[in-house]
Amino acid sequence: MEDSFFQTMKLTFELAAFTTLILLFIGIPIAYFLSQTKSAFKPAIEAIVSLPLVLPPSVLGFYLLLAFSPKNSFGEWLETNFDLRLVFSFEGLVVASVIFSLPFMVHPIQSGLSALPKNFSHAAYTLGKSKINTLFFVLLPNIRSSLLTGIVISFAHTIGEFGVVLMMGGNIAGETRVASIAIYDEVEALNYATANQYAMTLFIISFAILLLVYAINRHFMHSGIR
Amino acid sequence: MIKLNFSKKLLGAEGTFNLTINEEIPKEKLSILFGKSGAGKSTILRILAGLTKPESGEITVDGEVWFSSAKKIDLPPQKRSIGFVFQDYALFPNMTILGNLLYALDDKSDKKLVDEILELTELRELKDLKPQLLSGGQQQRVAVARALVRKPKILLLDEPLSALDFAMRAKLQDEFLNIQHKLKTTTLLVTHDISEVYKLGDFVYELQNGKISQKGAPSDIFGGVGISGKFKFNGEIVAITKSDILYIVSVLVDNEVVKAVAGKKEVQNLKVGSRVVLSSKAFNPLIISAHP
């Protein structure tokens, strides 16, 4: 029992960590693009990014399940070319979680970048700095609190995710069984004590993470950094 | 030689108008673009910097084409040798003063230049502070210092002193003149403050309705004022006190408080903080040598 508890918790945090790391790499360019562009496609891209906020996770999970199934062309193509099967696997959970938590990373970074004075980037350009250089040395360091919010909320949200994981991953111990699924499973089996062990752990960790974020953001505010 | 020849459609308070400029800006001089707000002064600076694109025309600096609609050339701001001081200074809050200057430096080995500029702008003591801890006047100096670090061919200043109070403005104008005389950087400064034109400008362009309406030395353009046989100072009221039947109005002119008397009626229109012109017929000036 103890072993399976730690295995599940480890998997849960691994999933959240991978998802957050990937989201950071994907989220910064998307947020930067959205904060700069005047393109007519902007509303469409914003709508797509925000979809996971309003859709039931089961809808997203259902379509991802169909798309990644080896019986369909995309799933088959992944399997023959990359030997990658995304349904009922850890890799699949990571992909699904990245899509599902995308708005939680993009929104804070985008609003952070949009709130910076336009003249920051213009000043950097007149100092001979490229757009990439400006982004990494001027813009991002001045939205530290937005970055932190994006990272932590994405992480916490991935830990708390249930529907997508259930649809995409199922409940394979050591592969796709994460804490939220385990709680559901244990309650079904009337193992309330184990369910409580999972639930209380999630409760405490989530609270601790959020407390830390708000404390750090307060520190940023006081030192004049957004 | 800097040649500007372009046009750009702008949206003003009274609808769209065309900004049409065809001028040469003298080298190593401080030229001033003067005009009402909304006249398009800042746009001219932004076009020169490559931050705004004109519809047509050509901009050349020392024979190098920066923009040409005919030849389809439009150098990005990074490739133009400019220093830009923004109205809000745009100092980077994540870097110290020294950090801001070093970030601007192209050749990282040239730290000596940064030292010299810190010295010249009297910022050496403050170099390890973050800009948000500085006063407005100090931030303004950092912005100028940062713009100078790249040794630009043209220094562009967009209403650089407008956010400061009168006394600080006067002090920085002096410092700025001092720097300009030492470095002889070709400078184009935008202002709507006529006293600034007088104090700083070697040459002034007045912008009206999207066109340069007058140009020349400040005293030629605003000539009537200079030769009327009067003293005339711009100042700010710092106090109004009642004295028997009269009022004493204290006006800050440059760094000195000048007291003038006013009647009850005149005082009604004045309040502390108002900008006023103090003038006097010069029939009995007292002239004392300042350097005996």
Smallest CA–CA distance, residue A44 to chain B, in Å, is 27
Measured between alpha carbons, how far is A71 from B43 in angstroms, rounded to an integer?
Answer: 60
- Residue-wise pLDDT for A197-212, tens only, equals 999 999 998 899 889 8
Sheet architecture: strand order including B2-12: B15-25, B2-12, B56-61, B64-68, B73-74
Write out the residues of chain A at the interface with chain B, using a CB-CB cutoff of 8 A: 117, 119-120, 122-130, 137-138, 141-142, 224-225
Task: Sketch out chain B's domains with CATH numbers.
Answer: 2-226 (3.40.50.300), 231-281 (2.40.50.100)
Q: Which residues of A touch B77 (CB under 8 A)?
A: 122, 125-126
Quick: pLDDT tens for B11-64.
877 788 889 999 999 998 999 999 887 888 999 999 999 999 999 999 999 989
Q: Is B247 part of the contact surface with chain A (CB cutoff 8 Å)?
A: no
Q: Lowest-pLDDT range, A6-20, A36-50, B186-200, B225-239?
A: B225-239
Using the 8-state DSSP alphabet, how is residue B94 labeled? Answer: T
Residue B241: what pLDDT?
A: 87
| Mean pLDDT along residues A109-114 | 96
Minimum-distance CB partner of B93 among A125, A130, A225: A225
Quote the DSSP letter at residue B77: G
Helix (H, G, I), strand (E, B), or coil: what is residue B55?
coil
Give the pLDDT band of residue A48 (cuts 50, 70, 90). very high
Asked whether residue A43 carries a pLDDT value surpassing 50, the answer given is yes
The residue extents of the domains of chain A are 2-37+47-54+103-116+124-160+174-222
Q: Which two tokens stand for residue B14?
A: 């009274």
pLDDT for the residue B287: 64
Tens digit of each residue's pLDDT (9 = 90 or more) over B60-100: 999 899 999 999 999 999 999 999 999 999 999 999 999 99
Q: What is the pLDDT of residue A23?
A: 96
DSSP secondary structure of B99-128:
HHHHHH-SSTT-HHHHHHHHHHTT-GGGTT
pLDDT for B14? 78
How does pLDDT run across B166-191, given as a tens digit for each residue? 777 888 888 888 888 888 889 999 98
Question: Is B77's Cβ below 8 Å from some Cβ in A?
Answer: yes
8 A C-beta contact, residue A116 and residue A143: yes
Q: Is the pLDDT of residue B225 over 60?
A: no
The confidence score (pLDDT) of residue B279 equals 76
Question: How wide is the angle at C-alpha B290 spanned by C-alphas B288 and B292, nearest 5°?
Answer: 90
CATH 1.10.3720.10 for the A2-37+47-54+103-116+124-160+174-222 domain, yes or no: yes
If pLDDT is split at 50, 70 and 90, which confidence band does B227 have?
very low
B90 and A119 within 8 Å at the Cβ level: the answer is: yes
Cβ–Cβ below 8 Å for B104 and A127: yes
Q: Which two tokens stand for residue A179?
A: 């804490």
ipTM confidence? 0.81
Counting one residue from chain A and one from chain B, the pairs whose CB atoms sit within 8 A come to 56
Mutate to test the interface with B, among A125, A127, A135, A138 (most CBs of B within 10 A): A127
| pTM for this model (two decimals) | 0.80
Angle between helices A90-115 and A2-36 (to 10 degrees): 40
User: Tell me: the pLDDT tens digits for B261-282?
Assistant: 888 888 888 888 887 877 776 6
Lowest average pLDDT, out of A126-140, A202-216, B110-124, B164-178, goes to B164-178
Backbone angles phi, psi at A130, to 5 degrees: -70, 170
